[in-house]
Every structure is written in C-alpha cells, then in structure tokens.
Amino acid sequence: MTVMGKTHERIAGRLREFIETQPIFFTATAPLSGAGKVNLSPKGLTGSFAVLDDLTVAYLDFAGSNAETIAHLRENGRITLMWCAFQGPPNIVRVHGRGEPVFRDDPRWPGLIAHFPAIDATLHGLRAIIVVRAELIRDTCGYAVPFMTYDGDRELHAQRFAREDDESLGAYFAKKDHVATSLDGLPGLPLPLPPTLPATHA
C-alpha cells in the first residue's frame, strides 16, 4: 500500500479496505471556466460513504450553506476523491472520475440509499447522493501526512438539521445565496426540494 505512484485497475482488496476505514476524505471539483473557483470539501460522518462496485463509489451529500460540488458535477462531471492515512502506514489514495448528483426524486434513489444502512440520513438534511465512476485510481506515499487521532463524529450537524422537515429544509436552502446556484452562477441544488423516496433493499 505504500508503493509510490501505483495505478490500480479497480477498487478492491486492501485498497477498498483502506478507503472504507478512513473517517474522512476530500472531494475536488471545478467549473469549466478558467476564471471559475475550484472547490475542495472535507467529507465525513460514519456510514455516509459506500463502494458500490469495483469502479463505482457513492457518498451522501448533506445540508450546508453551499452546493459547489453539485453545481460542478451538473456542469461537467469531473471530480477527484482523496483519502489520507492519518494512522498506520503512510498512504494517499486518489480516485479520479466522473460524478453525478442523484436527487431525492430520482427513481434510482431508493436503491442507492439502501447502501447506507448505518446512518440515519433524516438527521442530516440529506439532499443528494453523489455517485462517482472511477477513471483513474492511484495511491502514492503519504510520508508528509501527520499522525492524527480520530475521536469521533461531531454531533452538531445532526442536532442542527434533525428538527427540519422537507418543507422547512427547502426554505432553509432557498435563503442561502449559493445553494440553488454556485459561487460562479452555475445551477446547483434544484429547488423546491422534492420529497424523499423510501429506501428499498440493496
């Protein structure tokens, strides 16, 4: 896992085990415009990431004050996911690929949400599931990444959004400047927010 610059054909074996056990990962997207703003976001919350198959992963996109990732994916689909080893052997894994936001009224929603049984998404204002198809999978050394300990998920997000229903959550998003549109004016989260379709067995 520490061989520098190794390319993988699929997300399997020790590579899959590594990314599934990391408590945090990062996403990077950008608009097509050279003058647009690159976005980098941390993603956490235990149970909000899933490997769907050897080349496809997904994560839950929760309520927040921006929707840059969604906007960029709707425009061009480019995304990079990155995991770092903050404990154990040094390692960095990047998945470069094409992503798509799947919204709550999409017919695929029930089947996709069933891949996340460990998390009560109703507590977090779930607004989309980001599905990423890998085009390039690489790991490199993480020699400069510091050792850091994971103490647990913060409870503040669930405490803030657990009291919202679909109507109030939609109103919250509508009041934010950069949810329906990105910082560069690209279409972001479609509003009004559709109702959540129920999960089906994965």
pLDDT for res 194 = 86
Quick one: which of 83, 84, 87 has its CA closest to 148?
87
Positions of the chain with pLDDT under 50: 1-3
pLDDT for res 200 = 65
∠ Cα 16 19 21 (to 5°): 105
How many other CB atoms are found less than 10 A from the CB of residue 194?
15
Task: Tell me the pTM.
Answer: 0.94
pLDDT for res 1 = 44
Q: Identify the sign of the CA torsion 93, 19, 27, 58.
A: positive
pLDDT for res 70 = 98
pLDDT for res 148 = 96
- Structure confidence by residue, pLDDT tens digits, 131-179: 999 999 999 999 999 999 999 999 999 999 999 998 999 999 999 999 9
CATH superfamily, region 6-175: Electron Transport, Fmn-binding Protein; Chain A (2.30.110.10)
Quick one: which of 68, 105, 18, 82 has its CA closest to 184?
68
Q: Identify the sign of the CA torsion 160, 162, 168, 169.
A: positive
